Chains A and B, each alone.
Chain A
Amino acid sequence: MSVTKSTKPVGIEVSLAIAEAVKLAEAEVVAAYPITPQTHIVEHLSDLVANGELSAEYVPVESEQSALSACLGSSAAGARTFTATSSQGLMLMAEMVFIAPVLRLPIVMAVANRAISAPINIWNDHSDIMSIRDCGWIQFFAENGQEATDMTIISFRLAEDKNVMLPVILNLDGFTLSHFIEPILFPPQDKVRKYLPPYQTAHKLDITKPISMGLLGAPEVFTEIKKATDNALVASKKYVSKAFDEFGKIFGRQYKLVETYKTDDAETIIVTMGSISETATVAVDEMREAGEKVGLVHLRLWRPFPVDELRAAVRGAKHLAVVDRHFTPGFPEGPVATEIRALMYHEADRPKMSNFILGLGGRDVPRNHFKYIVEQVKGLGASGRQGHYEMVGVLE
């Protein structure tokens, strides 16, 4: 029996669950480079296409650059299109990534976040996605397997919303999500069809009604096109909330742009993205039991940045400890901390900021890291400043 027919949670690897969600979403084209650093996502999709469970065109291309090129073409032709990549694969794909949002092509791509070379490393951090941070796609970070599965379906719905029409990257931590077996409750196919109707667009490549896409943008129009694309991305935020709310109504799992955990009276708030967030909630529980006024804010939406929601979530905190899984060589803080500091600068009552970089290249992130972070923040005192990121767990 297909796992997606189960009405109870199924123990399944998260990569396979995402592939099953792509099947439930009835994607029409999957183009992917099938070799390292690929994940089981597209391997399982090739099985699902081969055994007839998913009626899609599966294109095993010769490189990631070709993978996304094929996706651009199929999406432009009006097909619901999916791909997945990771690490060096995303680096090779980078040239094509920036094109999709400007052409307003609603491709969905799962990125199993892994380090980029050198040194050669196949393990989890956020350096792949952060190096194409400004690509213009809507970007999520999934916290657990259930969310990654649900978010795959939500991503198609959001991308294809007529008010959005933008590609979506679903980030999931390599290995600590992609290779974990955990319980997944699959949304029923009939309800997925209700939530996600077939993709239809009038703006597509059609030989009976020819249009051109991807043309030269001379100085007379380039600025305007870039501004229009950013306007679309910023405006998509309310449709992200809408897609979450409608998913919640149908499937009973409600997602928010920014999640808060025990922040109400928190003096110190830790800010995280991705799968370390659940481990961090356990650390928060243990610190609360010891009397620490600590809470957690977890960013689910990374682009468009949930500016107002983040500010509201951290209001009242004395300290923000922002965690990065990537660093910006030659700059005092990682990308997430840099952005949040910038967003807080004009707030009248802003917290003190510090930045902790951890979990690089697969280094495990145990809950003790979060306790260490809170100790460090407390050690700064009322007027102390961190001044420069601290890398947690460096062996010296």
Chain B
Amino acid sequence: MIEIRFHGRGGQGAVTSAELMAQTAVGSGKYAQAFPSFGPERRGAPVTAFLRISDQPIRVREKIYNPDVVVVLDPSVMNVTKVDAGLKDSGVLIINSAHPAGALRQQYGFKWKITTIDALSIALEVLKVPITNTVMMGALSKVMGVATPDDVREPLQNRFGPALAPKNQEAFERAYANAKMEA
């Protein structure tokens, strides 16, 4: 089982990312579970969402305290939330940032493997809005091998409809092609 925690701000799609990744995994014949850190929804406030993917049925419903992966949709969250809290020793941080991994490591003291991707630029270029969820899904899928562009096609279609799904597919694929784990 792989356990993933998403950090973002209300409106950026952290919850949607977890949901779509769960739907993608279930569609590929795996077991998955996604849920938000529940609370009154507020646009712009820090938001956490959780995702479990497994080859076996998932029974546990507790929050994820020791994730394998942390995905950061908005770099500003790192200034107000300890995003790496509880991250396993073998864990991975996937961060939306225009800065290289080394700079973030220095600024925040991260000791884990880091993938950075300039998701904001890709989102603005492809989607024309600063919503980074499908870009970060692409980076996560590539780095962790949890989904392919073909796997997400139907879930994106169902969620975004014919007008927006192709753009989101493109955003996913841009990240999927470019994301790579820090050496």
Q: B34 interface residue, CB < 8 Å from A?
A: yes
Contact B62 A122 (CB under 8 A): no
Q: A248 interface residue, CB < 8 Å from B?
A: no
Contact A181 B61 (CB under 8 A): no
Q: A62 interface residue, CB < 8 Å from B?
A: no
Contact A123 B33 (CB under 8 A): no
Q: Which of A13, A122, A182 has the most CB of B within 10 A?
A: A182
Closest to B26 in A: A11
Q: A375 interface residue, CB < 8 Å from B?
A: no
Q: B27 interface residue, CB < 8 Å from A?
A: yes
Interface residues on B, range: 20 to 34
Contacts of A343 in B (CB 8 A): none
Contacts of A316 in B (CB 8 A): none
Contact A181 B34 (CB under 8 A): yes
Contact B65 A366 (CB under 8 A): yes
Q: B23 interface residue, CB < 8 Å from A?
A: yes
Q: A313 interface residue, CB < 8 Å from B?
A: no
Q: B29 interface residue, CB < 8 Å from A?
A: yes
Q: A276 interface residue, CB < 8 Å from B?
A: yes
Chain B, residues 19-55, CB within 8 Å of chain A (1/0): the string is 1001111110101111110111000000000000000
Contact A8 B33 (CB under 8 A): no
Q: B63 interface residue, CB < 8 Å from A?
A: yes
Contact A183 B32 (CB under 8 A): yes
Contact B61 A279 (CB under 8 A): yes
Contact of A122 among B24, B29, B40 (CB under 8 A): B40
Q: Roughly how many angstroms separate A279 CA and B61 CA in the complex, as a whole number?
A: 6
Q: Roughly how many angstroms separate A39 CA and B38 CA in the complex, as a whole number?
A: 13
Contacts of A364 in B (CB 8 A): 62-63
Contact B60 A180 (CB under 8 A): no
Q: Roughly how many angstroms separate A123 CA and B37 CA in the complex, as a whole number?
A: 11
- Count of residues in A whose CB is under 8 Å from the partner chain: 26
Contacts of B155 in A (CB 8 A): 11
Nearest-neighbour CB distance to chain B for A280, whole angstroms, equals: 9
Closest to B18 in A: A181
Nearest-neighbour CB distance to chain A for B103, whole angstroms, equals: 34
A-B interface contact total, Cβ < 8 Å = 72
Q: A293 interface residue, CB < 8 Å from B?
A: no
Chain A, 204-242, CB within 8 A of any chain B CB = none
Contact A366 B25 (CB under 8 A): no
Contacts of A175 in B (CB 8 A): 35, 38
Q: A10 interface residue, CB < 8 Å from B?
A: yes
Contact B38 A11 (CB under 8 A): no
Q: A179 interface residue, CB < 8 Å from B?
A: yes
Contact B62 A180 (CB under 8 A): no
Nearest-neighbour CB distance to chain B for A373, whole angstroms, equals: 15
Q: Which of B19, B29, B62, B63 has the most CB of A within 10 A?
A: B62
Q: Roughly how many angstroms separate A13 CA and B159 CA in the complex, as a whole number?
A: 13
Q: Roughly how many angstroms separate A275 CA and B60 CA in the complex, as a whole number?
A: 9
Nearest-neighbour CB distance to chain A for B72, whole angstroms, equals: 21
Q: B177 interface residue, CB < 8 Å from A?
A: no
Contact A182 B22 (CB under 8 A): yes
Contact of B38 among A278, A282, A362 (CB under 8 A): A362
Q: Roughly how many angstroms separate A175 CA and B38 CA in the complex, as a whole number?
A: 7
Contact of A182 among B27, B32, B38, B40 (CB under 8 A): B32
Q: Roughly how many angstroms separate A362 CA and B25 CA in the complex, as a whole number?
A: 27
Q: A197 interface residue, CB < 8 Å from B?
A: no
Nearest-neighbour CB distance to chain B for A49, whole angstroms, equals: 20
Chain A, 313-371, CB within 8 A of any chain B CB = 362, 364-367
Closest to A366 in B: B62
Q: A38 interface residue, CB < 8 Å from B?
A: no
Chain A, 250-290, CB within 8 A of any chain B CB = 275-276, 278-279, 281-282
Q: Roughly how many angstroms separate A364 CA and B23 CA in the complex, as a whole number?
A: 24
Contact A276 B34 (CB under 8 A): no
Contacts of B65 in A (CB 8 A): 366
Contact A181 B62 (CB under 8 A): no
Contact B60 A278 (CB under 8 A): yes
What are 28 A-B contacts with C-beta separation under 8 Å? A8-B27, A9-B26, A11-B19, A11-B22, A11-B23, A11-B25, A11-B27, A11-B32, A11-B34, A11-B155, A12-B23, A122-B39, A122-B40, A123-B38, A179-B38, A181-B18, A181-B23, A181-B33, A181-B35, A182-B22, A183-B32, A278-B59, A279-B59, A279-B60, A279-B62, A282-B60, A365-B62, A367-B60
3 smallest CB-CB distances across A and B, nearest first, come from A11-B26, A11-B23, A366-B62
> Residues of B with Cβ closer than 8 Å to A?
18-19, 22-27, 29, 31-36, 38-40, 58-63, 65, 155
> Residues of A with Cβ closer than 8 Å to B?
8-13, 122-123, 175-176, 179-183, 275-276, 278-279, 281-282, 362, 364-367
Given A122-B40, A183-B31, A279-B59, 16 other A-B residues pairs in contact with their CB atoms under 8 A:
A10-B26, A11-B22, A11-B25, A176-B35, A179-B38, A181-B19, A181-B23, A181-B32, A182-B33, A182-B34, A183-B26, A275-B61, A278-B61, A279-B62, A365-B62, A366-B62
